[in-house]
Amino acid sequence: MPDPSTLEKLRPCGRLETFSTARHHLGFYRNVACTATYTNHSSTTTTATTAATTTIQDLIFRALRHLIATHAILSAIPLREEKSYPDVYFARLPSIDLRTCVEFISRKDEEEKEVSEGGEGERDEELDALLTEQHNRDFKQDEGTKPFWRLVILHSPEKNAGDFTASWVFHHALADGTSALVFHRHFLSALQQVAGSTSSSETTDADVNPIVPSPNTPLLPPLEALHPLPISALFLAKALLGSLFPSWFAPRAAKLWTGAPISNSASQTRACFQSVVLSAATTKALREASRCERTTVTAALQCIVASSLLCTLDAQQYESVKVDGPISLRRFLRWEGEGGLEEQFVNAMGQYGYVHSRSIPTPPSSALAGSTFSWASARAVRAAISRELDKNGRDSVVGLLRHVPDMHKFFLGKVGRERESSFELSNLGVYKADSGEGEREGEGWKIRRMVFSQCPNVAGAAFATSVVTGGDGCAVLGFSWCEGVVEGEVVERVMRRVEREVEGVLAAAEA
């Protein structure tokens, strides 16, 4: 095994990247995943044509060659994760053996495959089980020999290569959630190029060689080099006082539920995952209702999950829940290099917070009994998000990371304390393909169902809800939590309640 210290050193990890390397080293956060189901029912690019000269493995390996050559971060790995900024750094692998980071798993149930391709609201239980397993695996094994990402292919080997589900699982220091959409958009484009090579004469041995040389292009700069992330004296003072004297300057909301206290014991770090799928028709109706009520799907879903959680909890014991919401800072970045950053892998996230209470000032906007959902609350959440975005990256919690000298000590200092938040809600929005890239009716490769997921944050919220809407028009909500932090039965009740809440909200909107 090669000595990782001999690998080419690229640059130090930035502050936000170190936030992720420290969590990974401590076992507090393992990975993020974005999954897409790919289909190809084209009459001109049929699997009978492509499979004649290539297997599904060859197809995927050839497509990945394009991505690795384009995005230098895919061949970079963070080293010295036990250190904090600026001693933890990115190094470049000289090459990537795709056999070490691409896994092929055979489907056990053909009906599950049909679910992943359709526009109805059924969840893919086989995929949920796969993601549960993936979110319990980190990238510590064989350090220095393989990348800090993997592509897991769920497919039916007895069928042709026209359908498969691909889960890109990655270390959070490499990219943010928006970058995961970039990955799938570029992977789709690469599949189109590969599918266009229909004759064997256009396929060389190098195209299907599993050993891919790494590009020698530099990494993009870290977030703080793309945005100054200015912090005002008042914002810093509030943060410091809230940390030193929380009962005075950062009091918890009354009867706030945040799950079990933070623990780093093995019994409370195992990840669990399940998804809720809204049909394409339901997703469209929710989007239209949100627009009519002058709010967004993100805000509406946050209120629906909060209402569902409050309805599940003991009303006498718990009165409120707090939500953390990651937001993309990508629009505020300044890059002097070639091209823009919209199609690059970057880490650029801020965060907003919002507290939901049972005592709402307006009547519920749902036909479901016991609901606390209201469109007024959804508009208030949208306003909170807008206020954070209006700061253009100023006074952001991510800007405070420069004042954390030891990231590991920062996280370990949370062990034994109450959590600050009840759940996290992160919405990647609607997948948009490149214009003309296989999205014309009946032509080439297409992306259908998508799932956004992440391992639960051991030192963060009690559970996470990750949302994305794929090419099939279905919004998928991925729920992840740690055993022992919140009971699985509670999360499952919340998920079933979310489904009923959505129906109740839409029924009331139509009334």
DSSP states of 209-274: -SEEEPP-PPPPPPHHHH------HHHHHHHHHHHH-HHHHSPPPTTB---SPP--SGGG--EEEE
**Same domain for 180 and 324?**
no
Is residue 334 helix, strand or coil? coil
Domain boundary among 160, 194, 213: 213
In-domain check, residue 503: yes
pLDDT in tens, 18-28: 999 999 999 99
3-state helix, strand, coil in the chain (%, to 5): 40, 20, 40
Backbone angles phi, psi at 30, to 5 degrees: -100, -50
Nearest to 277 by CA among 464, 34, 471, 477: 477
Helix (H) or strand (E) holding 427: strand 423-430
Secondary structure of residue 63 in the 3-state scheme: helix
Q: Is the domain of 328 the same as that of 201?
A: no
Q: Count Cβ atoms within 10 A of the Cβ of residue 460 and give its class: 0-12 exposed, 13-18 middle, 19 or more buried.
A: buried
Name the E strands within 122-202: 149-155, 163-170
- Which of 481, 296, 286 is closest to 380 using CA atoms? 296
Name the average pLDDT for the chain: 91
Share of the chain above pLDDT 90, in %: 78
- What CATH number does the domain containing 299 carry? 3.30.559.30
> Hey, is 96 helix, strand or coil?
strand
Of the residues 213, 243, 269, the one at which a domain ends: 213
Q: What 3-state DSSP class applies to 173?
A: coil
- Asked whether residue 151 falls in the same domain as residue 292, the answer is no
Q: What is the pTM of this model?
A: 0.94
Q: Are residues 243 and 209 in the same domain?
A: no
Domain end marker among 194, 213, 232: 213
Question: CA-CA distances (angstroms) from residue 90 to 25, 77, 158, 253, 359?
Answer: 15, 5, 41, 40, 49
Residue range 244-268, pLDDT digits in tens: 888 787 899 999 999 999 999 987 8
Q: Phi-psi region for residue 255, left (φ > 0), alpha (ψ -120 to 50) or beta?
A: left
User: How many structural domains compose the chain?
Assistant: 2
Q: What's the rounded Cα separation, in Å, for the pair 129 and 116?
A: 14
Mark whether 381 and 466 lie in a shared domain: yes
Q: How many helices (H) and strands (E) does the chain have?
A: 15, 16
Give the residue-averaged pLDDT of 197-210.
Answer: 63
Whether the predicted pLDDT of 439 surpasses 70: no
How far, in Å, CA of 363 to CA of 384, rounded? 21
> Domain residues for 414?
223-429+452-510
Tell me: do 63 and 147 sit in the same domain.
yes
Q: CA 197 → CA 55, 62, 162, 439, distances in Å? A: 14, 11, 15, 18
Domain CATH number, residue 80: 3.30.559.10
- Is 367 a domain residue? yes
Kindly tell me if the per-residue pLDDT of 219 is higher than 90: yes
Looking up tokens 């209120």, which residue turns up? 303
Residues 244 and 205 in one domain: no
Instruction: Sheet with 89-92: list strands edge to edge.
Output: 8-12, 89-92, 76-79
Between 225 and 245, the more confident residue is: 225
